[in-house]
Structure 1
């Protein structure tokens, strides 16, 4: 094989390696920018999510639309922005929310909450009537209402503090809810 042919093969191989490396780096960057992992600490989202589970959060979910009622979101805790919380969106901008004992009412209609454990409502909700949710604000609650610090106690979450939408439980492998998360209004 001639010297020129070997140089051309080496050049072609280097070019392909650089191209592959660049594509892998670009793919990893896109994944890191659009998806984030989150570790569940505590019981506030049970029975939907459990303590010590790991989930993936789509940071790109809300690039083209706003969070919807029923979405499970990860956000910067308004009172300590260095901490991240996970809760369910209960009311969106423009909604009027009332909580009477253990009933959530949105815009005059009782919220059908299939995701909460109705047998574990021992800790009554703080009640209030007709709180209007402001622009770019979200009222969030944990699914385990008796063990959740949420908007009932510290107010709404600004849109700018929302990191993304919880989409997949991926750890531990024996988790009973492993896989895609369903979001229910």
Structure 2
């Protein structure tokens, strides 16, 4: 009887580890870059399998490793994919010449750091290189994202996965 319990527990434990390593990961949000979609301390589930078989799509919310320090993770929204033309003019985002309607985007006029930083408001038309995506935080005046050299175009190899569900806080539990 005890051997059976130990065996069942061991199988469950190993299965849970395999799922967390290869299929799903829980990520805690830290910082304001995805406001009002996510807030600091929100917990989300990142699904890791999809991008082994397909490429990220526009509007996917992804978690990726920062190229400058792969121990750091960022969460951003995919705005443009490889071969797309991306352009930002006066806070308006264009992909392949078409204005993107972004009801999720937040522009906080009280952010003094953003007022004098042209890179936040404008980005010259550029083709997204092969094997990369262009990402932005939903909180446009407070997000380190593809508009800046520190992040730049995100190599698909650095993408951990796609955010599929918020699990905390409980009152916001559900699909993203």
**Do both proteins adopt the same fold according to a TM-score greater than 0.5, normalized to the shorter chain?**
yes
Report what 2:154 is aligned to.
157
Q: 1:86 pairs with 68, 72, 75, which one? A: 75
Give the equivalent residue in structure 2 for 1:53: 42
Q: 8 Å contact 2:167–2:173 — kept in the other structure?
A: yes
Offset, 1:131: 0.5
Q: Where does the alignment leave 5 or more consecutive residues of structure 2 unmatched? A: none
Q: Which stretch has the larger CA shift, 56-65 or 122-131?
A: 122-131
Aligned residues: 166
Query: Greater Rg, structure 1 or structure 2?
Result: 1
1:107-162 CA distances to partner (integer Å, 9 max, x unpaired)? 010111121135x3563624132201111111100000010010001211100000
Once the two structures are superposed, residues 21-66 of structure 1 have per-residue CA deviations (whole angstroms, 9 ceiling, x without a partner) of 4642453133212111111111100110011111111111212211
How far apart, in 2, do the equivalents of 1:135 and 1:70 lie?
Answer: 18
Name the residue aligned to 1:3: none
The match for 1:38 among 7, 19, 27 is 27
Distance across 1 between alignment mates of 2:75 and 2:67: 12
1:59-113 deviation per Cα after TM superposition (whole angstroms, max 9, x unaligned): 1121221111100100001222221010000110110101111001000101111
Q: Is residue 133 of structure 2 the alignment partner of residue 133 of structure 1?
A: no
1:107 to 68, 76, 96: 96
**8 Å Cα contact 2:123/2:147 also seen in 1:** no
User: Taking structure 1 as reference, are residues 67 and 18 closer, same or farther at Cα in structure 2, changes over 3 Å only?
Assistant: same
Moved over 2 A (4+): 16-23, 120-126
Name the structure with the higher strand share: 2
Match of 2:139 in 1: 144
In the other structure, the counterpart of 1:179 is: 174
Work out the CA distance in 2 between the residues paired with 1:128 and 1:55: 30
Partner Cα distance (1:71, 1:78) in 2: 20
The whole-number CA distance in structure 2 between the counterparts of 1:144 and 1:128 is: 16
Show CA shifts across 1:9-32 (max 9, x none).
Answer: x7xx85x55763464245313321
SS at match of 1:29: helix
